[in-house]
Amino acid sequence: MKIEIPDELAEVLPGDESSVLVEIVLGLYKACRISSGKARELLRTDVIGFQRLLADRGLDLNFSAEELERETRAADEILTKLAPK
Protein backbone atom coordinates (compact mmCIF):
# COMPACT_ATOMS: atom_id res chain seq x y z
CA MET A 1 0.00 0.00 0.00
CA LYS A 2 1.24 3.47 -0.79
CA ILE A 3 0.01 6.54 1.02
CA GLU A 4 0.30 10.06 -0.28
CA ILE A 5 1.09 12.46 2.53
CA PRO A 6 0.17 16.13 2.20
CA ASP A 7 3.11 18.54 2.36
CA GLU A 8 1.81 20.12 5.59
CA LEU A 9 1.92 16.74 7.32
CA ALA A 10 5.23 15.72 5.77
CA GLU A 11 6.83 18.82 7.28
CA VAL A 12 6.11 17.63 10.84
CA LEU A 13 6.95 13.95 10.32
CA PRO A 14 10.36 12.50 11.16
CA GLY A 15 12.83 12.69 8.29
CA ASP A 16 13.17 9.09 7.13
CA GLU A 17 10.76 6.28 6.27
CA SER A 18 11.77 4.06 9.18
CA SER A 19 11.04 6.84 11.68
CA VAL A 20 7.63 7.42 10.09
CA LEU A 21 6.94 3.68 10.32
CA VAL A 22 7.81 3.72 14.03
CA GLU A 23 5.39 6.58 14.64
CA ILE A 24 2.58 4.89 12.68
CA VAL A 25 3.07 1.53 14.40
CA LEU A 26 3.27 3.09 17.86
CA GLY A 27 0.14 5.10 17.12
CA LEU A 28 -1.70 1.92 16.17
CA TYR A 29 -0.37 0.19 19.27
CA LYS A 30 -1.38 3.09 21.53
CA ALA A 31 -4.88 3.01 20.03
CA CYS A 32 -5.00 -0.76 20.77
CA ARG A 33 -5.38 -1.55 17.07
CA ILE A 34 -2.37 -3.91 17.08
CA SER A 35 -0.73 -6.02 19.79
CA SER A 36 2.77 -5.52 21.11
CA GLY A 37 3.80 -8.70 19.31
CA LYS A 38 2.51 -7.36 15.99
CA ALA A 39 4.18 -4.00 16.64
CA ARG A 40 7.49 -5.73 17.38
CA GLU A 41 7.12 -7.79 14.21
CA LEU A 42 6.41 -4.72 12.06
CA LEU A 43 9.31 -2.81 13.61
CA ARG A 44 11.61 -5.84 13.52
CA THR A 45 12.61 -5.40 17.15
CA ASP A 46 12.73 -7.55 20.26
CA VAL A 47 10.80 -7.10 23.50
CA ILE A 48 13.47 -4.92 25.11
CA GLY A 49 13.84 -2.72 22.02
CA PHE A 50 10.09 -2.24 21.84
CA GLN A 51 9.88 -1.38 25.53
CA ARG A 52 12.63 1.21 25.01
CA LEU A 53 10.69 2.79 22.13
CA LEU A 54 7.62 3.02 24.38
CA ALA A 55 9.60 4.41 27.31
CA ASP A 56 11.30 7.01 25.12
CA ARG A 57 7.85 8.32 24.21
CA GLY A 58 6.28 7.96 27.66
CA LEU A 59 3.91 5.23 26.47
CA ASP A 60 2.72 2.32 28.59
CA LEU A 61 2.95 -1.32 27.66
CA ASN A 62 -0.55 -2.57 26.81
CA PHE A 63 -1.19 -6.28 27.21
CA SER A 64 -3.93 -8.20 25.46
CA ALA A 65 -5.59 -10.86 27.61
CA GLU A 66 -3.53 -13.53 25.85
CA GLU A 67 -0.26 -11.63 26.29
CA LEU A 68 -0.98 -10.99 29.96
CA GLU A 69 -1.75 -14.66 30.54
CA ARG A 70 1.43 -15.72 28.72
CA GLU A 71 3.56 -13.26 30.70
CA THR A 72 1.96 -14.35 33.98
CA ARG A 73 2.65 -18.02 33.20
CA ALA A 74 6.25 -17.23 32.32
CA ALA A 75 6.72 -15.28 35.56
CA ASP A 76 5.16 -18.13 37.56
CA GLU A 77 7.53 -20.63 35.93
CA ILE A 78 10.54 -18.47 36.78
CA LEU A 79 9.41 -18.04 40.38
CA THR A 80 8.85 -21.79 40.71
CA LYS A 81 12.38 -22.48 39.46
CA LEU A 82 13.85 -19.91 41.86
CA ALA A 83 11.90 -21.12 44.91
CA PRO A 84 13.97 -22.96 47.52
CA LYS A 85 13.49 -26.71 47.47
Q: What is the DSSP string of 51-79?
A: HHHHHHTTPPPP--HHHHHHHHHHHHHHH
Share of the chain above pLDDT 70, in %: 99
pLDDT at 29: 94
22 to 47, 58, 61, 82, 83: CA distances (angstroms): 15, 14, 15, 37, 40
> What is the mean predicted confidence (pLDDT) over 22-48?
93
Residues in the chain: 85
